[in-house]
């Protein structure tokens, strides 16, 4: 059963409702029966729904997929032009604009509503008449309040929107669970596997904003020989397979792979899906979040495009604050449990995500707008609680000790005129000789395993001065504290890592500039006391309060503190060299950046939800540093053990002075001095640093 058959019954059930509500929307376009200042707002939304209706009819007739590229471009522009940077200062989705036009209270509500209702646009391309119908009905219900003689009452509007999300949470939550688990919902798989990829009009079948980035990437991949495309796909899928192999997990029990990719990479993804099929895996592919309930604006996941406007994303990342309360959270969690139970057979054979990321956009420093929705302290607590409970529910059905993942990254044209050269270098970095790195990294681990603690110091403007406590080995012949990470789940090759002991981990971690989750942090400084973040600051904004809120929301993920979940040493100096040669250090994704120097993760350990599964290095030694004082709490109360976030912060080699192992007998053993590796047998790692 494909997605069309799946939606047909639901669509037929609402066909009469849809006809009535669209008739009302068509009529109101000529009524002009609301207060003058609100009329352009409602007229624009009505126009959007009329275009959505036209798109839906074309989808159902098949005409949508017979458009030439100029018609595709025109339709895309009509839907998305207002969000583009040059037009956003006149857009109703801009909180500052809405507040100026409608006042603070109505402005915030109408801005939120405008953004939510735009979800109808991509749904039309999937033929989701039922979901569009409920959005249309919400729009008309709010409009009717504004055309009453008494005028709209703010609390009435707020209650209409609030109850909409509470009432339809069951529909949205179950749909999101199914999209992640059910290969029969094959809208995106069909685009990848059935389209003529030489005709770039296929990109517009997604219903997303297609920029020059997606067009240029698809065009570039079309120019590559088939053997290179296959090699890229092989690196990606073999990393996935090896991830199961090295951790002793049984891939043969799994049937579903969660394929996540940027639009434009379909040629590589098609080859990868064929590889996965040979492993017995069918793909699930789903759309990046387009509404607040799905987490719009809080990182990309699924099938993604380059953002039409990152300030728009940032303005709406806390939109759930409009309706988030204890009742909503508990209802959502109840539906989440029910949904996983309903699809538990699919969940049991879900293998995990295989992710293609991109990099190249300039670092983004957002503007904080007072008119945007913001979480209260209570809502931040609820967010933390909801994330924790959601993860625990998922882990009951998709067990951490049975699933794996892989991530690989490639540049996009936004990286600059050297795009093709950087792409070629990235392919080279992604396919480095992992045996050579494995052997050099083992020499580093042999020194690190002597440690009671490790001292890390920055140099120049970098103020890092940090002591990291290491797990003691009771059987050095058969145990190790550090994992020898080669090119499997995290591509490219190049790091050794551990979960530190929290007690005794103290000091300052500082980076002059770092790019985390598409946000730029200037002079990020975290102070640790017994492994927990005690103080934090950056210099992005004029006031210390704004800077703290920025870190609290985006790095600490609304937690008051986070533990240090990982200490690692990146060894991929070739990636570091590429970053310096092309001046793109600030544009590298965490996936590659973490391999270009020592890094420290705040949040959960690398073994979150799989701490009890034995893990071994290639030399046969068991990695015993899988827990810390936080994660071990799962044995008493799982709600206290996991933070559901893990963010790597890397010190580049040129800001690094030294990494020195201090053994239990007090002797010192340097790993890096003056930014260079000094462990015998690792001299080759310095070659890229000296070029």
H/E element holding 659? strand 656-663
Residue with more model confidence, 602 or 298: 602
pTM (2 d.p.): 0.87
Q: Taking 80 as the threshold, does the pLDDT of residue 1 lie above it?
A: no
H/E element holding 99? helix 95-102
The pLDDT of residue 636? 86
Q: Taking 80 as the threshold, does the pLDDT of residue 151 lie above it?
A: no
CA angle 513, 519, 520 (to 5 degrees): 20
The pLDDT of residue 4? 64
Contact 564/528 with Cβ under 8 angstroms? yes
Contact 495/595 with Cβ under 8 angstroms? yes
Question: Among 102-106, 246-250, 304-308, which stretch is predicted with the lowest mean pLDDT?
Answer: 246-250
Dist CA 298 CA 278 (whole Å) = 34
Residue 271: Cβ within 10 Å count: 19
The pLDDT of residue 245? 86
The pLDDT of residue 644? 84
Q: Taking 90 as the threshold, does the pLDDT of residue 378 lie above it?
A: yes
What mean pLDDT do residues 180-186 have? 95
What mean pLDDT do residues 403-423 have? 93
Q: Taking 50 as the threshold, does the pLDDT of residue 684 lie above it?
A: yes
The pLDDT of residue 517? 79
Of residues 315, 283, 288, the one with CA closest to residue 89: 315
Q: Taking 60 as the threshold, does the pLDDT of residue 687 lie above it?
A: yes
Cβ-Cβ contacts under 8 Å for 456 (sequence gap 6 or more) = 464, 465, 466, 467, 468, 598, 651, 656, 658, 659
The pLDDT of residue 613? 83
Question: Among 180-194, 233-247, 470-484, which stretch is predicted with the lowest mean pLDDT?
Answer: 233-247
What mean pLDDT do residues 544-570 have? 93
Q: Mutual orientation of helices 419-430 and 573-581 as an angle, nearest 10°?
A: 180
Q: Which pLDDT band, with edges at 50, 70 and 90, does 2 fall under? A: low
At 257-282, the pLDDT tens digits run 999 999 999 999 999 999 999 999 99
What mean pLDDT do residues 88-116 have? 96
What mean pLDDT do residues 674-687 have? 95
At 19-42, the pLDDT tens digits run 999 999 999 998 888 999 999 999
The DSSP secondary-structure symbol of 492 reads: S
The pLDDT of residue 287? 96
The pLDDT of residue 691? 66
What mean pLDDT do residues 400-420 have? 92
What mean pLDDT do residues 323-350 have? 96
| Per-domain residue ranges of the chain | 3-167, 179-407, 432-690
The pLDDT of residue 593? 85
Q: Taking 50 as the threshold, does the pLDDT of residue 516 lie above it?
A: yes
Residue with more model confidence, 490 or 220: 220
The pLDDT of residue 510? 97
Q: Which pLDDT band, with edges at 50, 70 and 90, does 9 fall under? A: confident
Cα 93 → chain centroid: 22
The pLDDT of residue 299? 78
Question: Among 270-284, 541-555, 604-618, which stretch is predicted with the lowest mean pLDDT?
Answer: 604-618
The per-residue pLDDT of the chain, averaged, comes to 93
At 430-462, the pLDDT tens digits run 988 888 999 999 999 999 999 999 999 999 999
What mean pLDDT do residues 580-600 have? 88
């Amino acid at each position: 059963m494909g997605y069309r058959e799946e939606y047909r019954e639901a669509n037929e059930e609402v066909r009469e409702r849809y006809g009535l509500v669209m008739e009302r929307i068509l009529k109101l376009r000529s009524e002009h029966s609301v207060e003058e200042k609100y009329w352009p707002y409602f007229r624009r939304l009505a126009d959007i729904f009329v275009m959505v209706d036209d798109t839906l009819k074309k989808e159902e007739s098949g005409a949508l997929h017979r458009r030439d590229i100029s018609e595709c471009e025109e339709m895309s522009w009509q839907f998305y032009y207002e969000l583009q940077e040059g037009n956003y200062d006149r857009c109703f989705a801009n909180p500052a604009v809405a507040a100026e036009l409608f006042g603070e209270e109505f402005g915030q509500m109408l801005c939120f509503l405008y953004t939510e209702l735009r979800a109808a646009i991509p749904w039309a391309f999937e033929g989701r008449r039922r979901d569009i119908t409920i959005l249309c009905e919400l729009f008309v219900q709010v409009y009717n309040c504004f055309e009453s003689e008494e005028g709209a009452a703010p609390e009435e509007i707020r209650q209409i929107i609030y109850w909409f999300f509470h009432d339809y949470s069951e529909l949205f939550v179950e749909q999101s669970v199914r999209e992640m688990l059910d290969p029969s919902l094959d809208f995106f798989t069909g685009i990848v596997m059935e389209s003529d990829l030489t005709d770039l009009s296929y990109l517009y079948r997604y219903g997303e904003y297609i920029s020059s980035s997606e067009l240029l990437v698809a065009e570039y991949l079309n120019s590559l020989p088939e053997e290179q495309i296959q090699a890229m796909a092989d690196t990606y899928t073999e990393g996935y397979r090896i991830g199961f192999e090295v951790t002793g997990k049984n891939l043969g029990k799994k049937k579903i792979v969660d394929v996540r990719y940027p639009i434009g990479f379909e040629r590589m993804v098609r080859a990868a899906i064929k590889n996965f099929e040979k492993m017995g895996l069918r793909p699930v592919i789903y759309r990046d979040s387009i509404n607040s309930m799905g987490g719009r604006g809080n990182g990309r996941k699924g099938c993604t495009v380059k953002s039409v406007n990152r300030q728009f994303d940032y303005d709406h990342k806390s939109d759930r604050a409009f309706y988030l309360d204890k009742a909503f959270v508990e209802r959502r969690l109840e539906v989440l449990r029910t949904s996983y139970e309903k699809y538990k057979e699919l969940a049991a054979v879900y293998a995990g995500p295989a992710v293609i990321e991109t990099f190249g956009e300039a670092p983004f420093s957002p503007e904080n707008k007072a008119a945007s929705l913001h979480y209260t302290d209570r809502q931040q607590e609820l967010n933390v609680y909801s994330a924790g409970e959601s993860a625990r529910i998922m882990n009951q059905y998709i067990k951490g000790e049975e699933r794996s993942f892989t991530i690989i990254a490639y540049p996009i044209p936004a990286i600059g005129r050297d795009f093709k050269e950087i792409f070629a270098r990235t392919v080279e970095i992604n396919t480095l000789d992992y045996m050579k790195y494995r052997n050099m990294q083992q020499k580093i681990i042999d020194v690190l395993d002597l440690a009671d603690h490790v001292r890390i110091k920055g140099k120049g403007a970098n103020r890092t001065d940090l002591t990291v406590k290491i797990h003691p080995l009771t059987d050095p012949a058969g145990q190790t504290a550090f994992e020898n990470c080669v090119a499997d789940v995290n591509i490219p090759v190049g790091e050794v890592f551990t979960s530190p002991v929290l007690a005794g981990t103290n000091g300052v971690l500082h980076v002059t500039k770092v790019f985390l989750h598409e946000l730029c942090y200037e002079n990020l400084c975290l102070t640790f006391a017994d492994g927990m973040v005690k103080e934090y600051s950056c210099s992005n904004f004029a006031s210390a309060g704004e800077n703290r809120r920025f870190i609290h929301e985006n790095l600490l993920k609304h937690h008051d503190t986070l533990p240090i979940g990982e200490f690692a040493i990146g060894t991929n100096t070739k990636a570091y060299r590429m970053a310096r040669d092309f001046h793109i250090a600030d544009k590298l994704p965490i996936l590659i950046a973490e391999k270009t120097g020592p890094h420290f993760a705040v949040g959960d350990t690398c073994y979150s939800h799989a701490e009890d599964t034995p893990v071994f290095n290639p030399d046969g030694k068991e990695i015993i540093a899988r827990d810390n004082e936080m994660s071990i709490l799962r044995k008493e109360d799982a709600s206290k053990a996991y933070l559901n976030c893990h963010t790597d912060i890397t010190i580049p080699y040129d800001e690094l002075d030294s990494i020195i192992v201090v053994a239990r007998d007090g002797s010192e053993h340097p790993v890096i001095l003056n930014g260079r590796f000094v462990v015998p047998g690792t001299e080759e790692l310095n070659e890229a640093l000296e070029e």
